[in-house]
Amino acid sequence: MKRTLIVLLCAGVLGACTLDPTYQRPAAPVDSAWSATPAPAQQKTAQTAAAAPLAADVGWREFFKDPRLQKLIELALANNRDMRVAALNVAEYEAQYRIARANIGPTINASGSVTRERVEGSTSAYSSSSASVGLTSWELDFFGRLRSLKRQALEQYLSTDAARTSTQISLIAAVATDYLQLLSDDASLRIAQNTVDADQHTYDLTVSMMKMGSSSLQDVRQAENSLASARSSLASYSRAVAQDRNNLVAEIGAPLPDDLPQGPSLMESEDTLADIGEGVPSDLLARRPDIVEAEHTLMAANANIGAARAAFFPKIELTASAGSTSGSLSKLFKAGTGAWTFAPSISVPIFDFGYNRASLDVAKIEKDIDVANYEKAIQTAFKEVSNALAGRTTYVSQVAADRDYVNSAQQYYDLAQARYRSGADSFLTLLDAQRTLYTAQQQLVTDMLAKQSNLITLYKVLGGGWAETIAVAQR
């Protein structure tokens, strides 16, 4: 028994060793600063953002201030099937980790049996009973193979959890983008409806003027064409709004409730997104979940190399039991019926046709692949953030120019309409003014959608939406 305790003690001490390679995080293959450099006229936007908190520190309720959108995101997080699958994947890998952790310790079983048999030609039956407690095939982890597998399972679990976070962030951004698309098409629908009303009024006016002899049939036909085109746009945007609602329902995973709070229009949505700071590229290594996921996958591959190395060394297993055996069940636990077994075994790899060497090579190659994937994830993140930053510093000026364009086109249309009624200008001038105004209004809607969508993309690619802050959670 004393020797057994010594063996177990040595197993515990030696089991702490590992053959895993020393892990070193690969260098980030990107610059130390973002490539998007704002022009002098856009410095104010960049300076304001620089003073704002980092995106990963801003909960999605803080970033999206629109109560209607907040409710939609809540529904999506509760009902979306992709989120459900991601959460189940995390639970599965957590269970796999517990299995790997359990393999390190011995499995102790209690067993009992009663046997009664009779041999042919004998007039009596033979009975035997036994009861024992023991462990079977407990691998003494001298070279850390099981611990390497446990670390691999842990890193795979953490990688899957980061993937769930990435899915959550992507879902939040997708719901917000689809919601903005609905607001955009709804704004375009209202513009189309106003254009139809204006064109109908122009058509009626032209017909009246033709009857009075101050307009021609050609003017009437041109007004009719313009009205038909506006009606076509109205039908197109009506369809788009209905499809946008269907997209939201699919994204959320549940019907849209009737008690949704009122939300702002697209033109009012500029004030519903909070300011966020971009930080520096090195912040992404810890704040962007797809990079965290790739690094945990890399660390799992690193641990797998340790397990592959340990396969070259002897494998020691221990089987032991202690109990009682007797020919009579009534005497099973009486004195003199004790029994025990202790059977250690060792298996030494001698020749395996290169199996262990090939397994180690596979583990090393898989690690090299994961290093490349990790570096690629960083490069992709750098590109996405740089592009979104370039958008943030230019869309402000673009939307401002669009507003000036709309104001100028509206004045041009009002003037052309007044001059056409007085007979000072031809119908072609009025028609050109109508088309110019419609184009300007639609351009403003398009660029406003692009600007707001870009801000959502920036929030997403900076790793925003990890969790609610304590202050927001208490609301």
How would you list the strands of the sheet with 338-347, edge to edge?
108-117, 126-140, 315-326, 338-347
Contact indicator for 373, 294 with CB cutoff of 8 Å:
yes
- Predicted TM-score (pTM) of the model is 0.82
**pLDDT attached to residue 436:** 93
Spatial CB neighbours of 197, under 8 Å, sequence gap ≥ 6: none
| Residues 141-189 pLDDT 10s | 888 888 988 999 999 999 999 999 999 999 999 999 999 999 999 999 9
Closest by Cα among 358, 466, 389 to 42 = 389
Q: Give residue 49's pLDDT.
A: 56
Whole-number pLDDT of residue 13: 47
The domain of 256 spans 2-116+126-473
Q: How far apart are alpha carbons 40 and 457 in whole angstroms?
A: 24
CATH code, 379: 1.20.1600.10
CA angle 110, 113, 119 (to 5 degrees): 160
Backbone angles phi and psi of 313, in degrees to 5: -105, 165
Contact 157, 90 (CB under 8 A): yes
pLDDT at position 1 is: 43
230-288, pLDDT tens digit by residue?
999 999 999 999 999 999 999 998 888 888 888 888 888 888 899 988 888 888 888 88
**Number of helices (H) and strands (E), helices first, in the chain?**
12, 4
String of DSSP letters for 159-191: HHHHHHHHHHHHHHHHHHHHHHHHHHHHHHHHH
| C-alpha dist (Å) from residue 200 to 51, 214, 351 | 51, 19, 91
Q: Is residue 191 included in any domain, yes or no? A: yes
25 within some domain = yes
The continuous run of DSSP H or E covering 470 comes out as helix 470-473
Task: Report the alpha-carbon distance of residue 417 to residue 420 in Å, rounded.
Answer: 5
Whether residue 186 lies inside any domain: the answer is yes
Residue 53 within a domain: yes
Question: 128 in helix, strand or coil?
Answer: strand
In a domain, 274, yes or no: yes
For the chain, percent of residues with pLDDT exceeding 70: 83
Listing DSSP states for 295-362 in one string gives HHHHHHHHHHHHHHHHTTS-EEEEEEEEEEEESSGGGTTSTT-EEEEEEEEEE-----TTHHHHHHHH
Among candidate residues 156, 163, 152, 168, the one with its CA nearest the CA of residue 93? 156
Tell whether 82 is covered by a domain.
yes
Interatomic CA distance for residues 34 and 29, integer angstroms: 13
Q: Is residue 253 part of a domain?
A: yes
Positions of the chain with pLDDT under 70: 1-17, 36-50, 113, 116, 118-132, 135, 323, 326-338, 466-475
**Angle in degrees, 0-180, between the axes of helices 427-461 and 217-252, rounded to the nearest 10:** 10
| Within a domain: 121 | no
Task: Provide the number of structural domains found in the chain.
Answer: 1
Which two tokens mark 147?
A: 């611990």
pLDDT at 410: 94
Of 309, 338, 302, 345, whose CA–CA distance to 323 is shortest? 338
The burial of 63, by beta-carbon neighbours within 10 Å (0-12 exposed, 13-18 middle, 19 or more buried), is given as: buried
- CA-CA-CA-CA torsion for 201, 203, 208, 213, nearest 10 degrees? 140
From 49, 28, 150, 159, select the one nearest 98 (Cα to Cα).
150
For 254, other C-beta atoms within 10 Å of its C-beta total 12
8 A C-beta contact, residue 75 and residue 175: no
pLDDT of residue 471: 35
The residues near 251 (Cβ < 8 Å, ≥ 6 apart) are 76, 80, 171, 174, 175, 178
pLDDT given at position 2: 46
pLDDT for 469 equals 39
